Amino acid sequence: QQQVKQSPQSLIVQKGGISIINCAYENTAFDYFPWYQQFPGKGPALLIAIRPDVSEKKEGRFTISFNKSAKQFSLHIMDSQPGDSATYFCAATPLGNTPLVFGKGTRLSVIA
Amino acid sequence: EAGVVQSPRYKIIEKKQPVAFWCNPISGHNTLYWYRQNLGQGPELLIRYENEEAVDDSQLPKDRFSAERLKGVDSTLKIQPAELGDSAVYLCASSARQDGELFFGEGSRLTVL
C-alpha cells in the first residue's frame, strides 16, 4: 500500500515557468512533510520541509503549500531554471522515530 | 565536513553470487538507514539503526539480506545469494537524531545478471 501518492510522474516546463508537483497522503499521523531533490547518479538531498502547523513555507524560489483537511501538499518552483531539472520526491513521516515514506518521484525537465 | 560515503558505487554480479555494500555515515550521526531505490521509484526503507541497534528491519528480506553496524559507526549490507530482482540502487543515509534531516550517500548501483 502506497502511503504517499505523487503526481505527475514527469513534467516539462519552460524556463521561467512555474513547476507544480502534488502529493497526497492517507495516514493522519503524518506530521512532517519534506521534499527531496535527486540528480542523476546522486543521492536525494533535502530541498524544503513543512510541518502541518503552517499552510505554506517559502525558501527562495521553492514553496510548499499544505492542505491538512485535504491531506495534500505540493511543491511550487517559481521561475524554473534548467538547473532545476531533476527528480523530486515528496515524503512523510509521523514526528518521532518512524522513518520517511517516499512518493514515487516526479522527473522535472526545464527547457530553454 | 565529509558527507555519507558509500562503496562500491557500481557492482555487476551473476545471480546467486554474494555482494556487500559499505557505508560510512556523517561523523556524529547516530541514526543510519539503508534504503533501496528501484528504477523510477522512490527510496524504500530496508533497515534503520540507532547506534549499533537495528530498530526497524521489518522490510529487510531476511532470507537473503543481512546488515550490521558493529561499533555504531559504519555499516555493511549484504545480499547472499543475489537474485535478478535485487538490481537497484542501495542508498545509505544518516541523521543526527531520529527525527532529523536525512543525509544520503550517492548510492551503490547493483546489477544482477
Judged against a pLDDT cut of 90, whether residue B2 lies above it is answered with no
Rounded to an integer, the average pLDDT of A5-28 is 96
Looking at residues B29-33, what average pLDDT do you find?
93
- Domain count of chain B? 1
| Facing B42 at nearest CB: one of A46, A49, A104 | A104
Nearest Cα residue in chain B from A32: B99
The answer to whether the Cβ–Cβ distance between B102 and A96 falls below 8 Å is no
**pLDDT for res A96:** 65
CB contact under 8 A, B106 and A89: no
% of chain A beyond a pLDDT of 70: 96
Question: Is the pLDDT reported for residue A36 higher than 90?
Answer: yes
Residue A92 has pLDDT above 60, yes or no: yes
Partners of B92 in beta bridges: B34
Among A80-84, A97-101, A105-109, B26-30, the range scoring the smallest mean pLDDT is: A97-101
Tens of pLDDT, residue by residue over A46-65, are 999 999 899 999 999 999 99
B101 touching A, CB under 8 A?
A: yes
pLDDT at B88: 98
What lies within 8 Å, CB to CB, of A20 at 6+ separation is A74, A75, A76, A77
In terms of CA atoms, which chain B residue is nearest residue A95? B99
User: Taking CB atoms and an 8 Å cutoff, what residues of chain A touch B5?
Assistant: none
Write down the mean pLDDT value for chain B. 94
Q: Does B28 touch chain A (CB under 8 A)?
A: no
pLDDT at A2: 63
- pLDDT value at residue B46: 96
CB contacts, 8 Å: A93 with chain B = 99
Q: Which residue range(s) make up the domain with B71?
A: 5-112
CA A70 to chain centroid: 16
Q: pLDDT at residue A97 above 70? A: no
* Mutate which: B29, B104, B108, B109, vs A, most A CBs within 10 A: B104
Q: What pLDDT band is residue B20 in, cutting at 50, 70 and 90?
A: very high
Task: Note whether A46 contacts B102, CB cutoff 8 Å.
Answer: yes
Contact predicate B77/B62, CB 8 Å: no
Share of chain B above pLDDT 90, in %: 87
Asked if B38 has any chain A CB less than 8 Å from its own CB, the reply is no
**Are the beta carbons of A45 and B104 separated by less than 8 Å?**
yes
Q: What is the pLDDT of residues B52-100, one digit of tens each?
A: 999 989 899 999 999 999 888 999 999 999 999 999 999 999 998 766 7
| Residue-level pLDDT at B10 | 98
CATH number of A4-111: 2.60.40.10
CATH code: domain of residue B44? 2.60.40.10
pLDDT score at B101: 85
Rounded mean pLDDT, A72-91: 98
Is the per-residue pLDDT at A1 higher than 60?
no
